[in-house]
């Protein structure tokens, strides 16, 4: 919905009265036709006289204008109610909907009094000032309203029309404007439109002032009943005064006094409402609050909501769900991964089966090329790569050596190869170190391969087979429709509420061994998946992370490079280029690519911490933060950031399921 264009927004605000007009015209047309047919049947002699039929029918229609409006209103009512429900559902979906405390019923009296007196005051004001004669048209409207007999006037003017107009102008127009632009523009636009709708200047001015007041009471009372009460009261007094001809009996002085009394009482009610009617958001009671809507948060939320029947609230700092796995369509219609390329792979059947409940898979095997001086070779370095970079005779000897030493199909970490006593093996190790690891690792980590945690470089070992795939896991693929739809499905559960753009730091506090949520003690569980140092204001110093800068490019060509990802292992400042359509299998004209630059993480407001820099010193600092939670047994750390670990998606889904197992007392 955030992507709605201006024209669509304008149309959504403008169309309700047009819809009503269309319904009215259709009903008028049908009734007219019916009346004409009956008329012709009743007066066979005049049946051929078109003038007679049209004039008599028009006259009848004019004198039954209110009745026809009532019929149109009754037809339109359910449509407007359905549209309002649609808007509400959308607000709920987008977490823009709030439930409010209810106003005591007797306080609606203020509105009724305000409606009555505002009507008297404004009517007399319009008469006294001569506004009533501006532009003309007022008399015709009055004739149409009161010309059709008391029954229809009362039903129509006092009941049906106010309800229909309130649903249109406040229920739909005001609410939609409020959604797009906030309260003040919503009050003004709905009132101006309400004024224009009345089609003559005196009534327009009257309608504008009352429109502002009705939108305002709606804003204060948070129920459509409020402006309906106002509107019904104002119209009721108007009808009573017209039939009793009260105004005609007043002297000029009485006229002025009544006008002032009307306006003053209405103003007094305004002040009374402003002072005494206070509604607040009803905060639901949650069993668990989860911070972060990435895989860690989303999986555990779903498990607790579904199998523990727990009410779960997710607070997510960003404007979307999915954490770093979030994907979306760019301006060219290409599905991109906004925070870097993500490919799902796992050996865990549990994880694969679990995610398969929320997505089908595009069968994709990730193959990465390394650009070594303009030549693209497969990584991880494997037997195919060996034959590409060494002369064939030499490659044959090296292959035999490697297989003899480690065995067919083995995965050997580069650091291990380099330590080999065997000169041939060492030679391969040295080559791979210099051409695949050294420069890339320096760019990625700002450190040499031997300085980073050995588990990091071991993620991309030398593979003693001819398998060019980046991962050798049993299950691999991409969510068929993208990661974001997977998350939407995962989080779609009645027990889960998500609040976006919500930084937990402003809502959750730990004090004196108690968790506070919005300044009130919270007895439930809190599962935190963000950076733990920042939660504690980095009081022991910042935990070091690497961040990334992304440079995006779009080309009007079918293909940019031979693989979805090409690593630049000996040249360039960026580490890799990703071409997204090759990852996702999307069939689309043109192609979007992204260059990735790794940088130190220094600024939490402009950067995202992507990679924990694991080493003894940093792990010790992490432990200091973790120890701060010793006295908060209901506060859990889960996820790549919160645990300061280098988890893949499958690792984190597995951890989240394990936490859910333990919280739900489930035996795996």
The contact set with ligand UDP (CB under 6 A) reads 370, 379, 436-437, 440-441, 444, 456-457, 459-460, 567, 569
Among residues 525, 505, 504, the alpha carbon closest in space to that of 515 is found at: 525
Stretch binding ligand FAD (CB under 6 A), from 102-110, 321-329, 429-437, 556-564: 321-329
Q: How far is CA 453 from CA 332, 416, 458, 615, in A?
A: 39, 14, 9, 6
297 lines the binding site for ligand FAD (CB under 6 A) = yes
Binder among 342, 439, 497, 576 for ligand FAD (CB under 6 A): 342
Q: How far is the CB of 393 from ligand UDP (least distance, A)?
A: 27
The answer to whether the CB of 592 falls within 8 A of the CB of 330 is yes
Stretch binding ligand FAD (CB under 6 A), from 183-191, 378-386, 454-462, 633-641: 633-641
CB under 5 to 8 A by kind: which of ligand UDP, ligand FAD, none does 314 bind?
A: none
The pattern of x and - marking residues 634 through 653 that bind ligand FAD according to CB under 6 A reads -----xxx-----xxxx-x-
CB under 5 to 8 A by kind: which of ligand UDP, ligand FAD, none does 286 bind?
A: none
How far apart CA 45 and CA 36 sit, in angstroms, is 14
Residues 534-593 contacting ligand FAD, CB under 6 A: 548
How far apart CA 668 and CA 654 sit, in angstroms, is 12
Q: Select 437 or 522, whichever has its Cβ closest to ligand UDP.
A: 437
CB under 5 to 8 A by kind: which of ligand UDP, ligand FAD, none does 457 bind?
A: ligand UDP
Q: Select 287 or 416, whichever has its Cβ closest to ligand UDP.
A: 416
Q: Select 165 or 650, whichever has its Cβ closest to ligand UDP.
A: 650
CB 332: neighbour CB atoms within 10 A?
14
Q: Select 371 or 529, whichever has its Cβ closest to ligand FAD.
A: 529
Q: Select 168 or 291, whichever has its Cβ closest to ligand FAD.
A: 291
Element (H, E) at 636: strand 635-637
Please name the residue ranges forming H helices in 94-200.
108-128, 138-146, 150-153, 161-165, 175-181, 183-197
443 lines the binding site for ligand FAD (CB under 6 A) = no
Stretch binding ligand FAD (CB under 6 A), from 92-100, 182-190, 292-300, 410-418: 292-300
Surface-to-core class of residue 278, CB atoms within 10 Å of its CB (0-12 exposed, 13-18 middle, 19+ buried): exposed
Q: Select 175 or 288, whichever has its Cβ closest to ligand FAD.
A: 288
Query: Can you tell me whether residue 100 is helix, strand or coil?
Result: strand
Q: How far is the CB of 329 from ligand FAD (least distance, A)?
A: 19
Q: Select 76 or 351, whichever has its Cβ closest to ligand FAD.
A: 351
Q: Select 262 or 323, whichever has its Cβ closest to ligand FAD.
A: 323
The answer to whether the CB of 558 falls within 8 A of the CB of 544 is no
- DSSP letter at 367 equals B
Q: Select 237 or 612, whichever has its Cβ closest to ligand UDP.
A: 612
Residue with tokens 């009410």: 311
CB under 5 to 8 A by kind: which of ligand FAD, ligand UDP, none does 258 bind?
A: none
Binder among 16, 121, 204, 292 for ligand FAD (CB under 6 A): 292
Q: How far is the CB of 15 from ligand FAD (least distance, A)?
A: 37
Among residues 616, 655, 1, the alpha carbon closest in space to that of 299 is found at: 655
The count of residues interacting with ligand FAD (CB under 6 A) is 34
CB under 5 to 8 A by kind: which of ligand FAD, ligand UDP, none does 350 bind?
A: none
HSE value, Cβ hemisphere, 13 Å, CA-based, for 632: 25
Binder among 57, 203, 476, 529 for ligand FAD (CB under 6 A): 529
Q: How far is the CB of 376 from ligand UDP (least distance, A)?
A: 12
CB under 5 to 8 A by kind: which of ligand UDP, ligand FAD, none does 459 bind?
A: ligand UDP
437 lines the binding site for ligand FAD (CB under 6 A) = no
The answer to whether the CB of 307 falls within 8 A of the CB of 666 is yes
Q: Select 140 or 551, whichever has its Cβ closest to ligand UDP.
A: 551
Q: Select 167 or 652, whichever has its Cβ closest to ligand UDP.
A: 652
Q: Select 115 or 479, whichever has its Cβ closest to ligand FAD.
A: 479
Please name the residue ranges forming H helices in 167-200.
175-181, 183-197
Binder among 111, 186, 315, 565 for ligand FAD (CB under 6 A): 315
Q: How far is the CB of 346 from ligand FAD (least distance, A)?
A: 8
CB under 5 to 8 A by kind: which of ligand UDP, ligand FAD, none does 317 bind?
A: ligand FAD
Q: Select 222 or 318, whichever has its Cβ closest to ligand FAD.
A: 318
Among residues 613, 643, 623, 619, the alpha carbon closest in space to that of 451 is found at: 613
Q: How far is CA 614 from CA 429, 532, 601, 646, in A?
A: 24, 15, 14, 8
Four-residue CA torsion sign, 91, 96, 99, 102: negative
343 lines the binding site for ligand FAD (CB under 6 A) = yes
Surface-to-core class of residue 408, CB atoms within 10 Å of its CB (0-12 exposed, 13-18 middle, 19+ buried): exposed
CB under 5 to 8 A by kind: which of ligand FAD, ligand UDP, none does 379 bind?
A: ligand UDP
Q: How far is the CB of 362 from ligand UDP (least distance, A)?
A: 19
Q: What phi, psi does 57 have (nearest 5°)?
A: -65, -45
Q: Strands 361-362 and 375-379, how do they pair?
A: unpaired
How far apart CA 172 and CA 336 sit, in angstroms, is 35
Residue with tokens 């979030």: 326
- DSSP letter at 380 equals S
How far apart CA 221 and CA 99 sit, in angstroms, is 12
Q: Select 349 or 459, whichever has its Cβ closest to ligand UDP.
A: 459
The answer to whether the CB of 413 falls within 8 A of the CB of 457 is yes
Which neighbouring-strand residues pair with 315? 291, 499
Q: How far is the CB of 300 from ligand FAD (least distance, A)?
A: 9
295 lines the binding site for ligand FAD (CB under 6 A) = yes
How far apart CA 315 and CA 659 sit, in angstroms, is 19
Q: How far is the CB of 441 from ligand UDP (least distance, A)?
A: 4
Residues 480-509 contacting ligand FAD, CB under 6 A: 503-505
Q: Peptide bond before 380: cis, by omega within 30 degrees of 0?
A: yes
Helices and strands per DSSP (H, E), number in the chain: 26, 22
Q: Which residues touch 378 (CB under 8 Å, ≥6 apart)? A: 367, 368, 369, 370, 384, 385, 388, 468
The answer to whether the CB of 352 falls within 8 A of the CB of 536 is no
CB under 5 to 8 A by kind: which of ligand UDP, ligand FAD, none does 320 bind?
A: none
294 lines the binding site for ligand FAD (CB under 6 A) = yes
**Site residues for ligand FAD per CB under 6 A:** 291-297, 315-318, 323-325, 340-344, 503-505, 529-530, 548, 610, 639-641, 647-650, 652
């Amino acid at each position: 919905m955030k992507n709605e264009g201006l024209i669509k927004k304008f149309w959504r605000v403008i169309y309700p009265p047009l819809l009503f007009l269309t319904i009215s015209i259709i009903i008028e047309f049908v009734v007219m036709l019916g009346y004409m047919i009956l008329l012709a049947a009743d007066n066979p002699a005049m049946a051929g006289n078109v003038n007679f039929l049209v004039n008599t029918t028009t006259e009848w229609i004019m004198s039954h204008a209110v009745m026809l409006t009532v019929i149109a209103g009754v037809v339109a009512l359910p449509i407007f109610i359905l549209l309002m429900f649609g808007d509400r559902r959308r607000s709920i979906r987008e977490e823009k909907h709030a439930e409010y405390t209810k106003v005591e019923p007797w306080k609606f009296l203020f509105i009724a009094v305000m409606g009555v007196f505002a009507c008297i005051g404004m009517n007399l004001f319009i008469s006294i000032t001569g506004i009533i004669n501006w532009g003309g048209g007022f008399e015709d409207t009055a004739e149409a309203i009161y010309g059709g007999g008391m029954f229809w006037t009362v039903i129509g003017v006092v009941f049906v029309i106010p309800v229909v107009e309130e649903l249109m102008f406040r229920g739909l127009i005001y609410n939609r404007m409020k959604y797009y632009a906030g309260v003040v523009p919503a009050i003004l636009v709905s009132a101006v439109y309400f004024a224009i709708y009345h089609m003559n200047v005196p009534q327009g001015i009257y309608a504008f002032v009352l429109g502002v007041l009705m939108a305002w009471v709606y804003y204060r009372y948070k129920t459509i009943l409020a402006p309906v009460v106002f509107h019904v009261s104002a119209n009721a007094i108007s009808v009573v005064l017209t039939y009793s001809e009260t105004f005609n009996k007043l002297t000029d002085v009485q006229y002025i006094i009544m006008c002032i009394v009307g306006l003053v009482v209405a103003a007094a009610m305004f002040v009374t409402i402003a002072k005494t009617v206070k509604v607040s958001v009803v905060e639901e009671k949650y069993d668990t609050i989860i911070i972060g809507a990435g895989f860690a948060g989303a999986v555990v939320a779903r498990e607790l909501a579904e199998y523990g029947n727990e009410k779960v609230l997710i607070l997510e700092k960003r404007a979307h769900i999915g954490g770093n796995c979030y994907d979306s369509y760019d301006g060219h219609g290409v599905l991109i991964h906004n925070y870097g390329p993500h490919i799902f792979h796992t050996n865990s059947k549990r994880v694969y089966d679990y995610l398969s409940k929320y997505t089908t898979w595009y069968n994709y095997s990730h193959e990465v090329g390394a650009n070594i001086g303009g030549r693209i070779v497969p990584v991880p370095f494997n037997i195919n790569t060996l034959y590409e970079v060494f002369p064939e005779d030499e490659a044959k000897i090296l292959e035999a050596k490697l297989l003899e030493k480690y065995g067919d199909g083995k995965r050997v970490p580069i650091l291990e190869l380099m330590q080999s006593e065997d000169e041939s093996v060492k030679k391969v190790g040295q080559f791979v170190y210099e051409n695949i690891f050294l420069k890339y690792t320096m760019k990625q980590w700002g450190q040499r391969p031997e300085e980073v945690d050995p588990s990091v470089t071991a993620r991309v070992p030398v593979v003693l087979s001819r398998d060019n795939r980046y991962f050798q896991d049993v299950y691999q693929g991409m969510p068929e429709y993208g990661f974001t739809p997977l998350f939407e499905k995962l989080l779609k559960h009645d027990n889960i509420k998500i609040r976006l753009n919500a930084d937990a730091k402003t809502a959750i506090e730990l004090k004196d061994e108690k968790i506070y949520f919005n300044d009130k003690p919270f007895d439930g569980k809190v599962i935190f998946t963000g950076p733990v140092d920042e939660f504690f204001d980095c009081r022991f110093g910042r935990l070091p992370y690497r961040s990334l800068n992304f440079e995006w490019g779009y080309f009007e060509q079918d293909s940019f490079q031979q693989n979805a990802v090409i690593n630049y292992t000996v040249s360039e400042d960026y580490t890799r280029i990703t071409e997204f359509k090759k990852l996702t299998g999307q069939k689309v004209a043109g192609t979007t690519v992204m260059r990735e630059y790794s940088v130190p993480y220094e600024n939490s407001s402009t950067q995202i911490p992507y990679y924990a820099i694991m080493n003894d010193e940093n792990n010790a600092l992490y432990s200091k933060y973790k120890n701060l939670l010793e006295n908060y047994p209901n506060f859990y750390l889960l996820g790549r950031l919160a645990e300061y670990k280098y988890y893949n998606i499958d690792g984190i889904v597995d951890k989240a399921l394990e936490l859910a197992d333990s919280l739900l007392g489930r035996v795996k």
